[in-house]
Structure formats: structure tokens, C-alpha cells
Chains A and B, each alone.
Chain A
Amino acid sequence: MSFSFDLYVQRRSWLHAVDPRVKLAFVFLGTVLMLAFKNLFIMLLSLAITHLIISSAGVPGHKVRWVWKTMLPINIMIPLLWVIFYPEGPTVLFQFWFLKVTALSFLRGIALALRLDAIAFICFTWLFTTDQTSLVRSLVKLGLPFEWGLVLAIGLRYIPTFYGLYTVVSEAQQARALDLTRGSFFTRVRSYLPILVAMLISALRTSEQLARAMESRALGLPGVQRTCLRDIRFRPADYAYTALLIALFSALLTLRFQFGLGTHPLYLF
């Protein structure tokens, strides 16, 4: 049985109906906000809100779990590296040889990992609920040349495909007795080579086929003005969402830079 790794979830929900440009603004402003804050609770709140939004749009639980699974290595590495390289603050949790673990750097590490999770989920509210056609359409409407929009959409579209490809290739090599668990760190890194090289060859083959397939459907024909079957248009609700988005963004940014909201990992002010 083959498994589909498409990001887009086909549903009819309020979020699917929102103009993709509004969702793009949400991604942009949301990311800026997350980068402005460093507070643990703000990250958690943002994650709670995006989870609520995603589930209200009918995105199934296994997609959400997939995001968390993908983010797991980052969630482990960031606090670990932060603790090792940026010891700060007076409270020392424990000290061993050159390693000094302080409470503040530990909290900061976690807050930073959660910040990336929060940004990831902000992006996925957009990617889970916007199909490729409207995604390209929205980018073109924002002034991007059609080919650029297409390149971006294809890039996004192929992230999960390559994730799937990795799984298959790694299975195929394990079936040839490739052991990924044996030996020292460097032996193990080396044993990923058969997977990476096979993936690279497959990826090149895929991209060549894709390019030919698109060319054979007359993509890039010079002097042709593209028409579109389905156009996107702002509805009254979209204006309301945009206004709400800008209002929230300005309010939160004012709180951050005028009153110092959310600069400490633990305390709000």
C-alpha cells in the first residue's frame, strides 16, 4: 500500500474558504511576532491557538502528529545546544566538568524550541488548508511572476514527497542488510550515504521528469498571457480577518516594544 504524503487536506471549512493572501499575511505577521517574543507562555499560547485553528478546519490528528514528529529532533537539539553553549543567570542547576547548566539557559532553550514549533504551526495553518492552485494564484496576485509562484508551490509540494521517498529508500537499503544502528557515530553517519545517494538520484530523475511533463503541457510558451479558470477574490469576511490580524499584530507589537511584554522566558513583563 502506498502512502500519500500530501500536505494539503481537502475539506470544506471556514479556513479553507479564507483568501490565501490573508493566510499568507497571517504567516508573515505571525512569524514576525514569534520572533519578537521570547516567552515560554506566549509560545504555548500561540501553539494552543494554532492547534485550535487547525482542528477547527478539520485537519486530522495524524497530520498534526506528523508535524510534531518532524520537529522532534529540533526540539531536542536546541535546548541541548543552548544549555551547553550559553550558560547564563545565577541559578546553577548542576555543574559537571566544563558543562554548567543554569535554570535560565535551560528555560530559554525550551522557549526557543517552542518558538520554532509555533512558527511551524503558523505556516501549517496555511499549507494544510491551501491547495496548490490557489497558492500559486495568490502569489501571482501579489505580483510574483507565475513561474516563481509555481516553483515555490512545487518546492512546498515536494517536501512531504521527499520525506516519503526517504522512508522507502531507507527500507529498500535495510532490506539489503544496511544497519543504521551499528558502530560509532561516524560509522552510523556514513551508513546513511546509501540512502542519501539513492534519494539524490531519484530526486534528480523526478525533477527532470516533472520539467518535461510541464513543458509538454506548454508551460513557459513565450508571448502567452496566462488565463485562469478559478480566480480568488476578497470577501467581506476576508477584509474583517485582515483588519483583525493587523489590529492584533499592532497591539501585541506595541505591548512588546513599549511595555516589554514577553522578553523573559518565564515572566510576562
Chain B
Amino acid sequence: MTLAGDRLSVTLDGREILNAVSFETAPGEWLGIIGPNGAGKTTLLRALLGQVVSTGKLTFQARDLHTIGRRERAKLMASVPQRPLLPPAMTVADYVLLGRTPHISYLGKETYADLSATREAMVALELTDHLQRPLSSLSGGEQQRAILARAISQDAPLLLLDEPTTALDIGHQQSVLGLVDMLRRERDLTVVSSLHDLTLAAQYCDRLLLLDRGAVAASGLPTDVLQAESIARIYGAEVRLLTEDGKVAGVVPQRLVTSPAMETPTPPSVSAP
């Protein structure tokens, strides 16, 4: 029932983007993929989606994701890309209905079951007041919910999110991740998401996979993966970890002293509550 990758490698244009990446996550868990820019986070998600050719083993619910058909894969996993293309004039209802595509035969028409799944997804994301509105007229937060509703109506046990918080303000970041967490619990979804923000990764993910130049630098519980030394080594960033009840509650970058003429200030004291 788990999602597992074993020595997964991806080579694009002669360059090795992923090198023998192994990971495993239990059903209902949230796996966060972290790492600096260019570490291979998005490529790993694209390998799961079958959008790039990968070698090694990749299984979900005991199915080999390398040989699975396009439609079967779409029934197993729903994906929310970093910047989804939103057809401006399409209505919310029509957009959410697109999530049912893998369940409708090639030249077929949506059934009652497809319509109820669509309706249910729109209820779950509180979109029922906006059914007939074109996507371009929605606010940023409403668009996010419409995108999630489309993924939810797909009714797949695995949800992939590529940097779901990019370009969102702090309030929207919180609400999007909160919604994903709620949907995950309600529907027992396995979630895999790449994340830039280490604090959010620590707060929401059950398990983290830290990538560095295409290889696994660390993986496991957030407390094990998020270490000041490894973050310094891999990201080249000086951070301070905030802990709460033995768990990482925040990853705070320290202000760098850029001018050698300046005196070294004492780091601000941060105390965990």
C-alpha cells in the first residue's frame, strides 16, 4: 500500500538530475521533498507522474509505476503543478469536472457518479457559491481552492503537489497547507509535495526527503532531517532551529554579517516556548 522508490535515477539531455534516490512513505502520510534550487525536487515529482523517463523501481499500492498505463496512473495520483494553466473563461464547475477525466471513457460522457464526485469536491472546498464564475474572476485563494477541488474530484489515493505555497502570502500558504492536511485526514490520502519553506515542511510533513544535487542527503522524521549543520552544508544557509515538544517548529535564517568593518553582533536570543 506504500509509495516507494528504489534507486530511482533520471538523466535529461545527458545530465544526471536524480541519482539513485530511494524513499518510502506509508499510506496516509505526508512526504515532503526539500532541498535547494536544482536539487531535483520537481524532477522527482515528474518521475512519479511519468513525465520523465526514470530507471530504478517505483511502486505505489504494489503497482509498478513504470509500466502502468496513462489512465490507470491518473486514477492513482492527482497532481497540482506549481503554476497551473487556468483557462480564464472556464467556469469553476467545468474546471473541477475535468478532474473526472480518467474515470470517463475516451469518447464518453460524464455519468451521475462523476457529477456527484465533482459536487462533493466543490462542497469540500467551499466553492458552491462560485460554480458558474469564470476562473479569471476568482481571487487568488479561491483559485487555489478550485485547483485543489479539481485534484480531489479525481478521487486518487495519492496527491502530488509541486511547491504549493510558491507566490502565496503567509495567510494563503497557511490556508492551502491546512486544506491539504484536512483533505488528507478526511480521505486518507498519501501526500507528496515539494516545499521550499523548511518551517512549513517541518510543521506539516510526517516525513522529509532532503535532496542535494540529485541524491538523497537525508530522509526520515523532520527532527532527524532538519539539522543546522546539514542545512548549512547543503543550502549554504545559517539557520537556527526552534523546537517545541521535541519537534521542529521553525527554521529561522540568521542575519548574515556582510560588512567586515562591522562588529559581530550577538545573535538575537530565540527561546522556544
Q: Tell me, yes or no, whether A binds B.
A: no
Interface residues of A (CB under 8 A from B): none
Interface residues of B (CB under 8 A from A): none
